Amino acid sequence: MKALKRTIAAVAGLAMMAGLAACGGDRTSSGATDEKIEEGATVGISMPTKSEERWNKDGNNLKANLEKKGYKVILSFADDKPAQQNADIENMVNNDAKIVVVAAKDGTAVGPAVEKARDAGAKVIAYDRLIMNTEAVDYYATFQLEQVGVLEANYIIDTLGLKDGEKGPFNIELFTGSPDDNNAKYFFKGAWELLQPYFESGVLVSPSNHGGGIDKDSTVDGNWQKISVMSWKTEQAQKDMESILDSTYSHGEKLDAVLSPYDGISQGVINAIQTKRPDMVPGTDTWPVITGQDAMEIAIKNISDGTQAQTVFKDVNKLATAVEEMIVEIAEGKEVSGINGEFNNDKIDVPSKLLDPVSITKDNLSDLVDAGYVTQEKFDQLTGK
């Protein structure tokens, strides 16, 4: 909490300095400028892939919001290929985009493309995933990243009764997201800080040698990429989980929990368990607690069926609104409001707007309908009503 307060104070300070600089007509990275963007200007939106549910929602929501406000929008999906994404961004700049919004496939590889955009005079907004190692990022909008891992880890801790003194030892296997996505590190950080003390006391153990093994001495920086799943792929997660089950759980050993940072990875884990350990039965003590993220349709079904226990919901409608507000303020030459944090991208501290993620389980699954994230009809279909 203290760190957050310090961050807010620092950002407020930055904003004030930016405000002063703006009086001199300077271009600043975090505050108002006297350069306005003409009405009906073009905004580029570069999404990493169409093959994951959320980026379609994200891209289309933002496009619809901006078009309602009178902007021209170029929306591209990069098929999980960094070179494609860089070409997409170049195309936006060639079409005179004044603002580019980028959810990076590879946070570092996209640097040169946004630098070109910046050189051409465009503002750059990192969307959900931070763009690394460049000065060419004006703002970042995302969800409280560590909080995602906190919600997942706390769900496991509560379900296994660790705070009530259950001693286990409980077997847990851990996965992180894509090694080229800076978010994946923060998700793990939030979770590991809560889980590590239970490794220390021996209540949690990770018996497989997945990614070289996880034990009490593991660290976020030292280990997160070793247990990662490239491009967050279901198939890769399934393969990895199958080898974990073959090596360590092939003689009826109990698996108590799997920390999964994304519903697609959870699906791979579920597929692997169903293939290799048909004696594990959802809804009974034999089935592990499996977490996730994104509240994908498949996760709604899995949570309803009891194969997945929890997911973390990030309301992308709210993120689209937050970014739309940013764009309008930038276009009007105003100071961007609602900045409540900053993230270092290994070059600069990027002023950030951070929204709150929410834990979803069977008990509050229908909140996804109330939030307008999924229709009642689709929800009923997924939950077999």
Chain residues binding ligand BGC by CB under 6 A are 52, 54, 128-129, 177, 181, 183, 232, 262, 293-294, 314
How near is the Cβ of 51 to ligand BGC at its closest, in Å?
A: 10
How near is the Cβ of 38 to ligand BGC at its closest, in Å?
A: 32
How near is the Cβ of 267 to ligand BGC at its closest, in Å?
A: 12
How near is the Cβ of 91 to ligand BGC at its closest, in Å?
A: 23
The number of residues in the chain equals 385
Q: Which is nearer to ligand BGC, 127 or 192 (CB)?
A: 127
Q: Which is nearer to ligand BGC, 148 or 203 (CB)?
A: 148
Report yes or no: 206 and 171 within 8 Å, Cβ to Cβ.
yes
Contacts of 288 (CB under 8 A, 6+ apart): 255, 256, 257, 258, 273, 280
Question: What does the alpha-carbon distance between residue 168 and residue 256 come to, in Å, rounded to a whole number?
Answer: 10
Tell me which residue of 142, 195, 177, 168 sits closest to 266, measured CA to CA.
Answer: 177
How near is the Cβ of 232 to ligand BGC at its closest, in Å?
A: 4
Q: Which is nearer to ligand BGC, 18 or 355 (CB)?
A: 355
How near is the Cβ of 52 to ligand BGC at its closest, in Å?
A: 5
How near is the Cβ of 279 to ligand BGC at its closest, in Å?
A: 30
Using a CB cutoff of 8 Å and minimum separation of 24, what contacts does 219-225 make? Answer: 219/192, 220/185, 220/188, 220/189, 220/192, 221/185, 224/176, 224/179, 224/184, 224/185, 224/188, 224/189, 225/176, 225/179, 225/185
- Looking at residue 229, its amino acid is V
Question: DSSP states of 325-365 as a string?
Answer: HHHHHHHTTPPPP---EEEE-SS-EEEEEEEPPEEE-GGGT
